[in-house]
Structure 1
Amino acid sequence: MTDEDIRQLGHFAIMWDCHGLEVVARVPDPADTTFALLKGVEPPRLPNIKHWELRARYNPQRHYEIYLISAVDGIDEDDIREMFEANPQEAADTIRRIGHKVYSDRNQENKILIR
């Protein structure tokens, strides 16, 4: 993958729990931040993933998962929301497979409870 291909990707932070998708946020390209600062305008804000992680840690009963993913140019937040609405299990499995896990308190039924 070339540098140009990487710049064409959209980057997203996604959080969901046992009740469904909670947040989809675009992660701005560092170049956009640089150019905004050079122009003297407000740079795009990064999603507050640490806040999300605190929410997940203090609500373990909801089994939160937080992932970072890259998507081809043209995919936006609404496309990801629609993917979760159409087939939430497949959407979650796809993101787990292609994404970078930031936090996961996924409920796994095969955990050994007593040794």
Structure 2
Amino acid sequence: MSDERAGIFAVMWDCHGLEAVQSVPNPADITFALLRGAEPPALPKLMHWQLRARYNSQRHYEIYIITATPGIGEDDIQDMFEASPQTAADTIRRIGQKYYSDRREPSRVAIT
């Protein structure tokens, strides 16, 4: 991935913290690798992530796709979750595109 292109990442976390972050490769990089006969960069296995989330619903998984400014990498996103997991999750929810969410919402019933 070139430095002038914004990074696209798939990010998955649950109630225990960050589980996975993977860069989504530029489609041009995939095309040129295939034309050269080389192995193309790996895509995130979102279907596998989603299956894991569905079969472990007690962990309340969330999967988002985000676009980060140039220069931000997978390590930076991991560091953000280590430093402040709640702030990281809130930021990604605000700027990202939700792929899957089993987020536990607090009950709207105040008095029963």
TM-score using structure 2 length = 0.91
Aligned length: 107
Find out whether 1:18 has 2:15 as its counterpart.
yes
Instruction: Give the aligned partner of residue 30 of structure 2.
Output: 33
In structure 1, how many angstroms separate the alpha carbons of the residues matched to 2:78 and 2:30? 25
Letter in 2 for 1:91: A
Shift of 1:111: 4.9
Deviations 1:51-73 (A, max 9, x none): 00000000010000000000111
Structure 1: runs of 5 or more not aligned: 1-6
Q: What 5-or-longer segments of structure 2 have no aligned partner?
A: none
Structure 2 residue corresponding to 1:87, chosen from 84, 89, 99: 84
Match of 1:97 among 94, 99, 110: 94
Distance in 2, matches of 1:48 and 1:98, equals 21
* Partner Cα distance (1:100, 1:68) in 2: 5
Q: Distance in 2 between matches of 1:42 and 1:75?
A: 24
Q: CA offset at residue 109 of structure 1?
A: 1.2
- Of 7-16 and 62-71, deviating more is 7-16
User: Is 2:52 aligned against 1:55?
Assistant: yes
Aligned counterparts of 1:9 and 1:110: Cα–Cα separation in 2: 38
* Counterparts of 2:38 and 2:11, CA distance in 1: 27
Runs (4 or more) in structure 1 with deviation over 2 Å come to none
RMSD: 1.4
